[in-house]
Structure 1
Amino acid sequence: MDIGILTALIGGTLALLSPCGALLLPAFFASTAGSGPRLWAHGGIFSVGLLVVLVPLGLGMGVLGTLFASHREIIIIAASILMIVLGIIQLLGIGFDPSRFIPGAEQLQKQANQRTGWVKTLLLGAVSGVAGLCAGPILGAVLTLAATQNDVWTAGGLLAVYGLGMVVPLLLLASVWGKLSSRWKTRLRGRIFTVFGREFHSTSVITGIIIIAVGVLFWTTNGLVTMPELLPTKTSAWLQESSAILSNPLVDVILLIVVVGIILGVWIRARYRKANLVAEKQN
């Protein structure tokens, strides 16, 4: 795992914990999906919504980056400066909403508010990937990293990892949301503190410092080229060899059948439970 992937993963988690109401998502999932298989099925659909929007954005930035691949030195300097600026913006809590720059995002958000059930979860995932005033600089930093990748698919994968960083903590939080005390919920939302008369939010400050640090690291390591891998070379090679089996088309078919089976199982269970409730009311 290199620093870019780790940054994208942490960025997704911090986007979920951002102070602009992102923590409303676990509460939504806890109230609409409850727990167990239904919660994880909603989480899977939410993930699809995220990936439908985020991965094309990553691929687009990857394509843009390859157009200027011959000017790598300039790209590294520009990307580093941009990440540092985005980090400062995040630290100061200024922020911006990336959805304003994406055609159709506002209409998508309206539809997500109007719909219910599985469709609402899908649209909510699509909107959550790009919307949010506080998460704007985080997404901008990850997109900047994606644009500096030499491979388009790697750039798309980076945005997929960013989405994964949102989904995993979301489902974990939603599964225990009802058991969390008000003190823990307050801690997760972070705290506001004042420095020289200006208010700062702890989550935004931590996120901003991480983005600035990655920007500086990006500059000083020639775009992370001279940055050592977080995992030893032997370990990375072993993981790559072990994961080679996943490239088998048979594995893809089995995985698809399992996912469809889980969704059908949840749907049948929900229908069965609803039929039992109707029968009890009639009796």
Structure 2
Amino acid sequence: MPGTEVGVAIAFLAGAASIVSPCVIALIPAYVSYLSGLSLSELSAHPGEGGAPRRRVMAGALLFVLGFTVVFVAFGATATALGRSLLLYQDLLRRLAGVLVVLFGIYLTGLVRIPFLEQERRLDLGRMPRGLAGAFPVGMAFAAGWTPCVGPALASILFLAGTQQTLWQGVGLLLVYSLGMALPFLAMALFIGRFQKWLPRLARQGRWISLTSGALVALVGVLLYTNAFFRLAGLFNYYQWGL
């Protein structure tokens, strides 16, 4: 499909922006503690060195990543199948999706409040076992919930998946989105002791992170509305091959 390269790049960046968003990154130490079964003080005492704690942390993090990837891919397959079933109205739906995604992007910048997007829905983690036994279902719960930081970015990629020509293209976009979330999360889990020390400094950059992620999501909306993905892909090919 024309513009697939551009869509893949945007999906990856949207995933990375989701995991480093202010209301998610602040919870990373608590998530890693829950997934590994180690306390925050135990995590601080093992800032990325080898041994059983590190293996435990990484095992929990990988299971968590697998959990949210399974749910995101299922969302992507559903969005693409729905888009294909409404093929006759796809142009109208694409434009409507573009407008909604632009609104999501503006909301993420923090410049405008949209009350219904600020309603948070999560599964109760207290019902799930702490440690490795609960890591996979906690990942699924994380993906299935709605948070003000992750929800709009995820919705924009789901709208994009709904415009794809094949089921595998839609699934691929959500796999890439998941990868964009997974790599930073795994890096933070691997060096969780050091990350806890960096967190206050990162929190001070929250405003810029919000503005950047909001601008990225709004860009996806503009590209959806104008159907410009194929034009960008053509430009990339031009500069890559000199044609």
| TM interval, short-chain normalised | 0.7 to 0.9
Structure 2 contact 161–171 (Cα < 8 Å) conserved = yes
Partner in structure 2 of residue 59 of structure 1 = 77
Following the alignment from structure 1 to structure 2, what is the Cα–Cα distance between the partners of residues 204 and 19?
7
Structure 2 equivalent of residue 217 of structure 1: 223
Task: Output the aligned Cα RMSD.
Answer: 3.0
Equivalent-residue separation in structure 1 for 2:235 and 2:16 (angstroms): 19
Distance (whole Å) between structure 2 residues aligned to residue 215 and residue 106 of structure 1:
29
- Report the secondary structure of 1:150's partner residue: coil
Unaligned runs of 5+ in 2: 49-53
Alignment of 1:240-279 (within 5 A): none
From 153, 161, 164, the equivalent of 1:149 is 164
Q: Deviations over 1:151-204 (max 9, x none)?
A: 11221221122121111101111222212474x312322446xxxxxxxx3322
Flag the 1:98–1:166 CA change in 2: closer, same or farther, 3 A: farther
- 1:181 to 1:28, Cα distance in 2 relative to 1, 3 A: closer
From 123, 127, 142, the equivalent of 1:106 is: 123
Q: Which has the higher contact order (CA 8 A, sep 6+)?
A: 2
Q: Is residue 88–residue 212 contact of structure 1 (8 Å, CA) maintained in 2?
A: yes
Structure 1 residues 196-253: Cα deviation after superposition (integer angstroms, max 9, x where no partner) = xxxxx33222111111122223333x251222268659x9xxxxxxxxxxxxxxxxxx
The whole-number CA distance in structure 1 between the counterparts of 2:90 and 2:189 is 43
Structure 1: 5+ residue stretches without partners: 193-200, 236-283
Tell me which residue corresponds to 2:175: 160
Q: 1:173 aligns with which of 170, 188, 195?
A: 188
Give the residue type in structure 2 aligned to 1:213.
L
TM-score (norm 2): 0.76
> Aligned partners of 1:67 and 1:50: how far apart in 2?
26
**Residue 71 (structure 1) shift:** 3.1
| Among candidates 99, 104, 107, match of residue 86 of structure 1 | 104
Report what 2:51 is aligned to. none
AA of the residue aligned to 2:26 = L
**1:43 Cα shift?**
2.5
> CA distance change for structure 1 residues 187 and 217 in 2, over 3 Å: closer, same or farther?
farther
Q: Which residue of 2 aligns with 1:25?
A: 28
Q: TM-score, normalised by structure 1?
A: 0.66
In structure 2, the residue corresponding to 1:149 is in which secondary structure?
Answer: coil
SS of alignment partner, residue 231 of structure 2: coil
User: Is the 1:3–1:230 contact (alpha carbons within 8 Å) kept by the matching residues of 2?
Assistant: no
Q: Note if contact 2:80-2:164 (Cα within 8 Å) is conserved in structure 1.
A: yes
- Shift in alpha-carbon separation, 1:171–1:135, aligned structure 2, 3 A: same
Q: 1:88 to 1:155 in 2, by over 3 A?
A: same
Distance in structure 2 (CA, Å) of the matches to 1:111 and 1:134? 24
Q: Deviations over 1:121-141 (max 9, x none)?
A: 112211222432221111111
Query: Alignment partner of 1:129: what SS?
Result: helix
Q: Which amino acid aligns with 2:84?
A: T
What corresponds to 2:150 in structure 1?
135
Q: Deviation at 1:53?
A: 1.3
The structure-2 alpha-carbon separation of the partners of 1:204 and 1:152, relative to structure 1 and needing over 3 Å to count, comes to: same
AA matched with 1:151: T
Alpha-carbon distance in structure 1 between the residues aligned to 2:100 and 2:25: 24
Count matched residues: 218
Partner amino acid for 2:12?
L
The answer on 1:15 being equivalent to 2:18 is yes
